[in-house]
Amino acid sequence: MLIDKKRRIIRVLGDPLGPRIVFYSINPKAFVISTDDMKLLKFAMQALDEQLEQNVLALYEIMNLGYIVSRRTIFKNVSRPLPGESIAIRISKNAFEYDVSRYWNIALIDIPRGSKGVIVQLALKHVIDQLNSYCKETLRLEIAAPISGGIDSSLLLLLALKSQECKHIHALHMNIENHMELLLSKLISTKAKVPISIRTLLLSRLKKKYIELLSAILSIIGYPREGDASLPYLVLAQHVRDKGIKFSIGGEGGDSIFWGFDYYKFFATQLILEKEF
């Protein structure tokens, strides 16, 4: 959030590549903005005597597409900017006006030919530097590294082992009747030469706790985000806690850098339709 006191403008920018979502609501009394926490926005709306009405169309889109189209949310009077968009609120004495515009566009990125390898190397070096910084703060205590057999968690585990400070890594894998993920996780941990703990969950048993877990998740984030891994990560966090491990690293969110989530696929499709990409 940027505040220009001289021009009396508040500008809110969302991360164009990150999974964080900015919510905003407009009414005659106020302009309410909340970052990634629908519960906080609900409290603000209640303070203004505003009721949140469910958006049936948005719920239908979640059920059928896996994501919500455009700036809609599950509530009629709450919106969100698309990746790369910003909200500018201009404040006058007795009123305010706003507009939503795009400040970042993937079509404007110019990567010189032959430089992609260098960019990847710099990105990996940056990740290793961040891992060194984090692991140093753990005072050499055991660190959990959840792996699923996928690219993001496996890559992070291998990069952690290349860092100087991450020396006490313990791989964790939770398997829900998926033999391929189990096999891949075992292979990755063997390749990385780290111990691995495996917890197998039966789908039938997990279904019984699904509603309870979902309620716990919604009480925390307040919003069912598309492509969100909050539910399995809650189960995983409970497993890490049961193991007595205080620190953890994970690859959650890494896919968005490479446009892996449906939300970003939709954004790319939108650019193509607008003939900007």
Q: Is 42 in contact with 36 (CB distance < 8 Å)?
A: no
pLDDT value, residue 276: 45
Q: Which pTM does this prediction carry?
A: 0.53
CATH number for the 2-104 domain, one of 3.20.20.80, 3.60.20.10, 3.40.50.720, 3.50.50.60? 3.60.20.10
| Residue with the larger pLDDT of the pair 72 and 225 | 72
Comparing 224 with 146, the larger pLDDT belongs to 146
> Confidence band (pLDDT; 50, 70, 90) for 71?
confident
- Confidence category of residue 195, pLDDT binned at 50, 70, 90: very high
Burial of 228 from C-beta contacts in 10 A (0-12 / 13-18 / 19+): middle
Q: What are the residue boundaries of the structural domains of the chain, listed by start?
A: 2-104, 116-264
Mean model confidence pLDDT for the chain: 75
* Measured CA angle at 209 (ends 42, 20), to 5 deg: 40
CA dihedral 26, 32, 38, 39 (to 10 degrees): -120
Q: Which fold has domain 116-264?
A: Rossmann fold (3.40.50)
Give the per-residue pLDDT at 272.
52
Which residues, 6 or more positions from 86, have their beta carbon under 8 angstroms from its beta carbon? Answer: 11, 12, 13, 14, 100, 101, 102, 103
Reply yes or no on whether the pLDDT at 258 is more than 50.
no
Choice among 91-100, 170-179, 180-189 with the minimum mean pLDDT? 91-100
In this chain, the answer to whether the domains covering 2-104 and 116-264 adopt an identical fold is no
Residue (of 122, 191, 198, 117) closest to 158 by Cα position = 191
114-135 pLDDT tens trace: 665 676 677 778 888 888 988 8
Q: Are 143 and 109 within 8 A, CB to CB?
A: no
Burial of residue 87 (CB within 10 Å: 0-12, 13-18, 19+) is buried
Tell me: the pLDDT tens digits for 197-237?
888 877 777 667 766 776 666 666 555 554 455 666 777 78
SS3 category, 69: coil
Neighbours of 274 (CB within 10 A): 10
